[in-house]
Structure 1
Amino acid sequence: MTSPLIWAYLISVGVLLMTAAHAAILAHGSDHARNSTAFALACLGFAGYQLCCALQYSAPDEASALAIHRWFNLFSIAIVPLMAFAARSFDRRQRSPQWFGGLLAMAVLLVADNFTSPYGYRFHTLDPDQLLTLPWGEQIRLVRGQPGIVYRAMRLVSLCVLVYALNVALSRIRTRDRLSGFVIWLGLGTMLLTLLLSSMSDSGVFALPYLGGFGFVVLAASFSLVVKREMVAHERLEKRITRALAKESLNRRRADALTEQILHQDLLTGLPNRNAFLASLERLIAQNGSEGTRLVVMLFDIDHLGAVKGTHGLAISDALLLQASRRLRSRIRDNDLLARSPGDGFSLVGNLIRTDAGVSVFCDKIRQSLTETMQVGELHFRLNASAGVAVFPDDALTAAELLAAAELALHDAKRAGSGLLRHFHPAMKESLRQRIGLESALREALDRQEFFLCYQPQVCADSGRTVGMEALLRWRHPEYGLIPPVHFIPLAEAGGQIGRIGAWVIDQACAQLAAWRQAGHAQLYVAVNISPVQLIDPGLEHVLLKAVAAHGIQPGELELEITESVLIEDPDRMVERFLALRELGFRLSIDDFGSGYSSLSYLRVLPVQAFKLDRSFVDGLCQDATSFEICASTIALARKLKLDVVAEGVETEEQAHRLRELGCPVFQGYLYSAPLEAEAAGLYLAQASGPALDAPIPPGLGPAGALR
């Protein structure tokens, strides 16, 4: 094999095999394994194609050349699906695999035809002269003949695959990498040109050796060039990633250090935070347990610090907290522990205290340090702190339990008022548990129909005729029994349920009044209590109008009793609300008149028709002159202002006699009836006529069992 052409074919075989090996190595552990594997298979296919060309052209006789030609045909068939597979692996659009399966099936059929036909699948007859003389005088054995229709169809398919590969290459070439793009275009263009030349040679236009494999050699070389460039870029990327990881590792260490500081230290005051406090508390408990001493945990919040934030800004409140922390540090011993609590307070541990007197001295010293005036710039502040105290081992034995006990004591102190200190007592836990249980049950009480209304008569002082009924809400819980309103109304107001409950009360009272009207009690009104939370609700008017319309009563037949304490918070707004309700025609009454601070000054502008004389004055009416004078003055004032007065809490004949002498027109109290459920109230109305109000009250609803 001294022919230059044969050597060129063999050299191309070596290049293709090396490129295939290079692609196979690149496929191992690479993110582009599919692309590299497909290209490696295409290289192997073209290597076999080129090798068969070299063997055929250098065959010693025609029989040998024809035998090799069948294997040449095999590789020429195989490279078509291999090229298609390689192109598809680089195609971003990922076309349907059905066409590729059809291509494989066609290749299998062609291979079978190739080895069963006399001259292979290309030709159905052969030319007599198989020797071709090249321009430089070299002769090669070139199998030529008349191509069949199968071969022509295969050529067309090959052309389509090559066009598809060109289209994929066009979409993948990067404009910034012009050299790689040029080489790829050169290789694909060479393959297209050689494919056309081979088709013309097989058709007898002229005689040429098959040169299509050399086009792919150029493409394989371009692949190696691109791979080399990508490897260099990958190496640079790895270096950048390594530097970035080193920087990120440094930042992570710094962040971990900062996180550790945040986890265990308050950034504002530099004190230990809650996590560090708990860890230290465990250690101090063990120390006091071994020495038989007491350990005091004191939690306190600075009262109204939120108001300081709102009026003076966060910087001032932070300065106060910082000053408070410094002052506390100066008042504690070295073996005590001070930490920042979440919110506006601190946690303090008095360590190694031997007596109860020592506990009291420690708590008083700490509280006094916070009540002293603090100065920030030109501003002076005198703050209070609510505190909760728990003692080891009297109240708890573990850090978590001791801290929970102090939290309960602090909660009790804040609920009771401002600037108070509470020591833990086991009853606090039960009280809070019951409160939480009531709050939870209250959310479902209305849906479970646990509420009901009782009605207490309001009678005319002179005639004894019942003129009105006050609707009183009651709650019968299946577990806790009958719960007084004083216990659950504040919970309903704080929890946001008072709106639904109040609307239900208004509707039920209106429905009951309508029923009594149908029973013949025409001159009767019903009074309902309106919560301060309900009063400021802009939807109250809609609730009231809907209820009276639904049950066919007039607004003036429904009296709204409103506690006078609502005037203290925002009197101007409350006057507006009173006026809005009065314009709708509802009867308005001030409940517990005389127990507040603003009644007399607002009576001249409030559009009310009546007020109720507080039971505390009625109780002392016959015992002390002061209560008598207050009742007399209040009733006289009401008569001058042409207002009705209802004396509540009338329980004795003596009280009723005195009130009649003073001119009080309406009484309400146990002297006439306890609050009655709807059925019993209806029976009461039916039995009560004129002054004969001593009709028997149904069993179980007398004064002994009723709730006031």
Structure 2
Amino acid sequence: MSSPLISAYLISVGILLMAAAHAAILARGSGHARVNWSFAAICVGFAGFQFCNALQYSAPDHARALAAHLWVNFFSVLVIPPIALAAAALDPKKRSRQPFVWLMGFVLLVIGYNFFMPYGYRFYALDPDKLLTLPWGENIRMIQGQANLVYRATRLVSLIVMVYTLGVTFSLMRMKDRLSSTLIWIGLAIMLVTLALSSMSDSGVISVPYLGGFGFVFLAGSFSLVVRKEMRVRELQEKRIARALAKEVQGRRLADARADQILHHDALTGLPNRAGFILCLENMIAQHSPETKIAVLLFDIDRLGALKGTHGLATSDELLLQVSQRLRGRIRDSDVLARSRSDGFALIASQIKTASGVGVFCEKLRGTLTEAVAVEGQHFKLSASIGLAIYPDDATNAGELLSAAELALHEAKNAGVSQIRSFHPALKENFRQRIGLESALREALDRKQFFLCYQPQVSASTGRTLGMEALIRWQHPELGLVSPLHFIPLAEANGLIGHIGAWVIDTACAQLAAWRQAGHADLRMAVNLSATQLLDPYLEDTLLGAIAGHGLVPADLELEITESVLIQDPEQTVARFNALRQLGLRLSIDDFGTGYSSLSYLRVLPVQAFKLDRSFVEGLGKDETSLEICASAIRLAQNLNLDIIAEGVETQAQAEWLRALGCPIFQGYLFARPLVAEAATEHLAQERAGGPGAAGELLLPGFGPAPLLP
């Protein structure tokens, strides 16, 4: 005999289990995991409820129907906690956990009571066994009776849970949550209706089978639709996310490439910058073959700073760009060219087998750089200073190798233009000493370690002192007397020359004022100026302040500028000379004849004197060339109505030659070595009294006494 109702129950079991599986699948990747797991538990509970109903209604006798009924009771109570938990998981308001603990305790008590009592938790007495004949002729075995208090309490708790669930569902609908669809609303309504029908059937008011499970089947089916929709939406979201991630990854790669270009490449030439150069060097060292060497060459274009000042930054940039393109065309594919320096480039030459190969490579590069570069119709002849270091001979890692090349370049630049220097161990020690000396130099002025010596400039005809040249000396507490040839370039390089020069000018003016008060009214003071001082915009204020502060006039002070200073910035030098001359200061060219354009400068510079370099004086009586140079220089001074001072006069024979040639002023050891202030004062006093020209006991240690005038 066919049983449509039993079949419907069993079909609903399959639907509910399928819904449970869907909910479990969704729970693994959803943001509503607790809701989905709870719904899966509810589906399993109702599947058991429906299955046991099928067993009860198809039981062959009353005893078996009652046994199945006890399990119907079990599953009907078991679904209450997961329904409450699902609603709580969706509730936007945070609830206390205590009511749910009480609910679980109540359900456990009811389940225990259900299996303890002979008729379960619903009835305390049963109506006579009867079969219910459905409209289509199917007979099912009904269990009805008198409801007890536990059953009524359970129904009340179920109603409270359903009302709470309806409230949460309503709030979710207002929030437009995806899980709160109209279908779910309908399913909840059906469940409420079937719950009411079940209560009426239990009490005997009507005779209908339990239909609550079918109501939940509708709800589960609705949920399955929501699940499928959710999964389709999630699939679309995953695709959108995958596309967005792919786009983001591509964008990140492009951004990383741009960042790498910015961080590791020079914007002007496109070559690796210093950071990129170091990375390339580290990679090459990591892949280095013991049979070969790696050479690092640093080269700076000589006088590029002056070119920037005279022709502009755009011209210098175009020049650097052309040089970089030329160099890239001359190096090997295995080499790496970089612009790691503002005025030059760096090169990594790999796979070098011999030291001679490195030398040939350097000469090739220098030849490339000396080729003229055309920029905006102008042709520039360049030169470069090159520093070289070799791995593994000079260093064991990239940082040390680069430092070694820097030291070599520093030595090359100090040696002059277009020089090549290789690293050697002594360079590091020399540089360390230089750093120590520079640090001590910064403190020397405050600690009053500088002092001035004065060397007389005497009349060739009378032997009387006409002026004094102030010469700075540094008495270091540990190194002793430090030569100006060592510390003056350091002072110029680190910016201290301005302060030191101002101290020299003030001290020299103070000493001249003291000698004037002692009666030496016609004495002049000569002070040397460096290139940095000459271009100092505050030089005039420094000079006039010192002169006025010590009661002197500008004509009392003579400024000596070496001829090599003049060629660094000719236009500005001439302008500054004219400004100083207008103040009334005397100007003199030192070391005349050793520079490049002596005669042309004499034509445009407002000088009153120049000094004949000691190298020409030393050759007098030894070679005809020195004699002719001295004679020509003296005649030039006479024709231009300039004073000329012969430096380095050390022998009587040299003095006689110069007198014969007509040189009016001498300076040198023949007359006096540089004297400390006290010795120079006594020298002047004895000269005025007609005595010997110096006080030997007041000379610096190692200087020795000054010889007497002839």
What is residue 632 of structure 1 aligned with on the other side? 631
Deviation per CA, 1:174-194: give whole Å up to 9, x if none: xxxxxxxxxxxxxxxxxxxxx
The change in CA–CA distance for 1:279 and 1:456 in structure 2 (over 3 A counts) is same
The change in CA–CA distance for 1:468 and 1:222 in structure 2 (over 3 A counts) is farther
SS in 2 for 1:553: coil
Contact (CA 8 Å) 2:456, 2:667: kept in 1 or not? yes
- Deviation, structure 1 residue 382: 7.1
After superposition, residues 262-411 of structure 1 pair within 5 angstroms as 268=270, 273-284=277-288, 287-288=290-291, 294-301=292-299, 303=301, 310=313, 312=315, 314=317, 317-318=320-321, 320-329=323-332, 337-343=335-341, 344-351=344-351, 353=353, 355-361=354-360, 363-364=362-363, 384-411=383-410
- Deviation, structure 1 residue 250: 4.2
The change in CA–CA distance for 1:225 and 1:297 in structure 2 (over 3 A counts) is same
What is residue 204 of structure 2 aligned with on the other side? none
Counterpart AA for 1:328:
I
After superposition, residues 520-539 of structure 1 pair within 5 angstroms as 520-539=519-538
- Deviation, structure 1 residue 705: 6.4
The change in CA–CA distance for 1:450 and 1:242 in structure 2 (over 3 A counts) is farther
Mapped partners of 2:495, 2:645: distance in 1:
31
SS in 1 for 2:332: helix
Contact (CA 8 Å) 1:684, 1:697: kept in 2 or not? no
Mapped partners of 1:471, 1:270: distance in 2:
50
Deviation per CA, 1:656-708: give whole Å up to 9, x if none: 2222222322221111111111122222222223764354412653774699x
Counterpart AA for 1:422:
R
SS in 2 for 1:284: coil
**Runs of 5+ consecutive residues of structure 2 not aligned to the other structure:** 1-82, 100-167, 181-232
Contact (CA 8 Å) 1:296, 1:389: kept in 2 or not? no
- Give TM-score, length-normalised by structure 2: 0.59
**Runs of 5+ consecutive residues of structure 1 not aligned to the other structure:** 1-17, 28-35, 45-219, 289-293, 331-335
Counterpart AA for 2:329:
R
- Deviation, structure 1 residue 528: 0.9
Contact (CA 8 Å) 2:322, 2:373: kept in 1 or not? no
What is residue 217 of structure 2 aligned with on the other side? none
After superposition, residues 33-182 of structure 1 pair within 5 angstroms as none
Mapped partners of 2:370, 2:569: distance in 1:
30
Mapped partners of 1:625, 1:519: distance in 2:
44
- Deviation, structure 1 residue 484: 1.4
What is residue 496 of structure 2 aligned with on the other side? 497
Mapped partners of 2:464, 2:660: distance in 1:
18
What is residue 252 of structure 1 aligned with on the other side? 252
The change in CA–CA distance for 1:532 and 1:268 in structure 2 (over 3 A counts) is closer
Mapped partners of 1:631, 1:305: distance in 2:
33
The change in CA–CA distance for 1:686 and 1:231 in structure 2 (over 3 A counts) is farther
The change in CA–CA distance for 1:230 and 1:637 in structure 2 (over 3 A counts) is farther
Counterpart AA for 1:553:
L
SS in 2 for 1:616: helix
Contact (CA 8 Å) 1:339, 1:347: kept in 2 or not? yes
The change in CA–CA distance for 1:629 and 1:443 in structure 2 (over 3 A counts) is same
Contact (CA 8 Å) 1:592, 1:613: kept in 2 or not? yes
- Deviation, structure 1 residue 654: 1.4
SS in 2 for 1:621: coil
Contact (CA 8 Å) 1:410, 1:422: kept in 2 or not? yes
- Deviation, structure 1 residue 509: 0.7
Contact (CA 8 Å) 1:323, 1:374: kept in 2 or not? no
What is residue 579 of structure 1 aligned with on the other side? 578
Between stretches 541-550 and 694-703, larger displacement belongs to 694-703
- Deviation, structure 1 residue 472: 0.6
What is residue 185 of structure 2 aligned with on the other side? none
SS in 1 for 2:670: coil
Deviation per CA, 1:602-659: give whole Å up to 9, x if none: 4355333322222122111222222223222322333343332222211111112222
- Deviation, structure 1 residue 549: 1.5
SS in 2 for 1:596: coil
Contact (CA 8 Å) 2:298, 2:405: kept in 1 or not? no
- Deviation, structure 1 residue 281: 1.2
Between stretches 659-668 and 395-404, larger displacement belongs to 395-404
Structure (1 or 2) with the larger CA radius of gyration: 2
Contact (CA 8 Å) 2:696, 2:705: kept in 1 or not? no
Deviation per CA, 1:258-290: give whole Å up to 9, x if none: 5567777889358974303212213315x34xx
Contact (CA 8 Å) 1:456, 1:469: kept in 2 or not? yes
Mapped partners of 1:264, 1:570: distance in 2:
36
- Give TM-score, length-normalised by structure 1: 0.59
SS in 2 for 1:542: helix
The change in CA–CA distance for 1:518 and 1:396 in structure 2 (over 3 A counts) is same
Mapped partners of 1:364, 1:597: distance in 2:
27
Mapped partners of 1:548, 1:694: distance in 2:
28
Contact (CA 8 Å) 2:298, 2:387: kept in 1 or not? yes
Mapped partners of 1:305, 1:597: distance in 2:
16
SS in 1 for 2:697: coil
Q: How many correspondences in the alignment? A: 491
Mapped partners of 1:591, 1:467: distance in 2:
17
Counterpart AA for 2:663:
C
What is residue 126 of structure 2 aligned with on the other side? none
What is residue 143 of structure 2 aligned with on the other side? none
Counterpart AA for 2:255:
A
SS in 1 for 2:469: strand
The change in CA–CA distance for 1:326 and 1:577 in structure 2 (over 3 A counts) is closer
- Deviation, structure 1 residue 548: 1.5
Counterpart AA for 1:268:
G
SS in 2 for 1:693: coil
Counterpart AA for 1:600:
L
What is residue 475 of structure 2 aligned with on the other side? 476
Counterpart AA for 1:603:
L
- Deviation, structure 1 residue 466: 1.8
- Deviation, structure 1 residue 482: 1.7
Mapped partners of 1:615, 1:493: distance in 2:
24
Counterpart AA for 1:589:
S
Counterpart AA for 2:252:
R
- Deviation, structure 1 residue 349: 3.2
Counterpart AA for 1:255:
A
The change in CA–CA distance for 1:364 and 1:447 in structure 2 (over 3 A counts) is same
Counterpart AA for 2:470:
A
The change in CA–CA distance for 1:705 and 1:440 in structure 2 (over 3 A counts) is farther
Counterpart AA for 1:351:
Q
Mapped partners of 2:544, 2:264: distance in 1:
59
What is residue 426 of structure 1 aligned with on the other side? 425
The change in CA–CA distance for 1:606 and 1:641 in structure 2 (over 3 A counts) is same
The change in CA–CA distance for 1:298 and 1:661 in structure 2 (over 3 A counts) is same
Contact (CA 8 Å) 1:670, 1:703: kept in 2 or not? no
What is residue 591 of structure 2 aligned with on the other side? 592
Counterpart AA for 1:349:
A
Mapped partners of 2:414, 2:621: distance in 1:
36
Mapped partners of 1:509, 1:304: distance in 2:
36
Deviation per CA, 1:21-66: give whole Å up to 9, x if none: 9999777xxxxxxxx77xx99xx9xxxxxxxxxxxxxxxxxxxxxx
SS in 2 for 1:688: helix
The change in CA–CA distance for 1:229 and 1:468 in structure 2 (over 3 A counts) is farther
Deviation per CA, 1:62-108: give whole Å up to 9, x if none: xxxxxxxxxxxxxxxxxxxxxxxxxxxxxxxxxxxxxxxxxxxxxxx
Mapped partners of 1:481, 1:538: distance in 2:
34
The change in CA–CA distance for 1:304 and 1:624 in structure 2 (over 3 A counts) is closer
Contact (CA 8 Å) 1:675, 1:706: kept in 2 or not? no
- Deviation, structure 1 residue 394: 3.6
The change in CA–CA distance for 1:407 and 1:525 in structure 2 (over 3 A counts) is closer
Mapped partners of 1:512, 1:506: distance in 2:
10
Contact (CA 8 Å) 1:386, 1:413: kept in 2 or not? yes
What is residue 511 of structure 2 aligned with on the other side? 512
